[in-house]
Chains A and B, each alone.
Chain A
């Protein structure tokens, strides 16, 4: 058990923190929602009603989609893009998809390689791109969820202001949809850019996301 916890700390701790923060978000969102209800003379809604509402759904989904977009772009673009001195970059002589030998694919696979890396054909092609593909699919799915929950939340507000609701396709052209989308995208892109650049000159001793403290600033593709 202790071995399991030690070997899975990142996934377990971040997964647990995610659940705790999601619940806290739900309570904060409920309080805000009920403030608005009271301001218009309407009764409070229950916690359960709130966590199944479009309002909570769009607030959750708009953040999820941007996080998965961030990782999707980071995974995909760092195949070709490099950053001299950054531990987030591969070494400068390895841009692109690299050789089968470097990637231990097909006949270069070793005894411990996953079966789909060894077998060749569509399975190896799919497995070779599976991380980016799944991140991309989750991004598209959560962006779609944002739009569906978003139009319902937007229309709830429209009705409360005695205005007509809009269709899903009309909502995709609404400022609300793009404001929610773009405000999340810009923050994710800033985080990636600043991480890639700050990690050239700054260190965090012992972190997998940092170069060793004594590494040269121009050492690229080195992780602690």
Chain B
């Protein structure tokens, strides 16, 4: 078994008695929100896209024009297949075939903090959409 899976299982075993949502369901929820963002942008639905951005990210995106218009001009890739989802505490990362999305936990569920992210060697991802 892959070591990562063992870690996740041990983590789930430790958290399950505490009544927390399982790691799997949180991963699915994060992946779903990431896909919804890219699908909304691809469909030209800026309102739907901005509704699932984190407040700080909305603020940055809407600096020069309203968020629903600005988000459509951010060159986000089309929604691809989810390749890998990682959830740790209040944060999640969803890797899709053409994009990497970072999300944070809010009372209403996962919200996208950064999208359109490309890896930089040993440095933080470079993201076309992100908060301060």
Give chain A's interface residues, CB within 8 Å of chain B. Answer: 37, 40-43, 45, 48, 52-55, 57, 148, 151-153, 155-156, 158-165, 167-169
Name the residue of chain A whose CB is nearest to the CB of B57.
A41
Report A85 CB to chain B, min CB distance, Å: 46
30 pairs from A and B in contact (CB 8 Å cutoff)? A40-B56, A40-B104, A41-B54, A41-B55, A43-B106, A43-B107, A48-B18, A52-B15, A54-B89, A57-B14, A148-B7, A148-B11, A148-B14, A152-B11, A152-B88, A153-B89, A155-B88, A156-B90, A159-B92, A159-B102, A160-B104, A161-B124, A162-B130, A163-B125, A164-B119, A165-B93, A167-B3, A167-B7, A168-B3, A169-B3
Interface centre among B105, B117, B130 (most CB of A within 10 A): B105
Q: Which residues of A contact B125 (CB under 8 A)?
A: 162-163
Complex Cα distance A167/B88, Å? 12
Interface centre among A159, A161, A164 (most CB of B within 10 A): A159
Complex Cα distance A55/B91, Å? 13
Report A167 CB to chain B, min CB distance, Å: 5
On whether the beta carbons of B55 and A53 are closer than 8 Å, the reply is no
Report B7 CB to chain A, min CB distance, Å: 4
On whether the beta carbons of B91 and A41 are closer than 8 Å, the reply is no
By secondary structure, the A interface counts as helix
**A-B Cβ contacts below 8 A, count:** 78
B: number of interface residues (CB 8 Å): 35
On whether the beta carbons of A54 and B106 are closer than 8 Å, the reply is no
Report B74 CB to chain A, min CB distance, Å: 16
Complex Cα distance A48/B123, Å? 33
On whether the beta carbons of B88 and A156 are closer than 8 Å, the reply is yes
Complex Cα distance A55/B125, Å? 23
On whether the beta carbons of B7 and A162 are closer than 8 Å, the reply is no
Complex Cα distance A54/B11, Å? 9
Q: Which residues of A contact B114 (CB under 8 A)?
A: 162
Residue in contact with B132 in the complex, picked from A41, A164, A167, A168, CB distance below 8 Å: A41
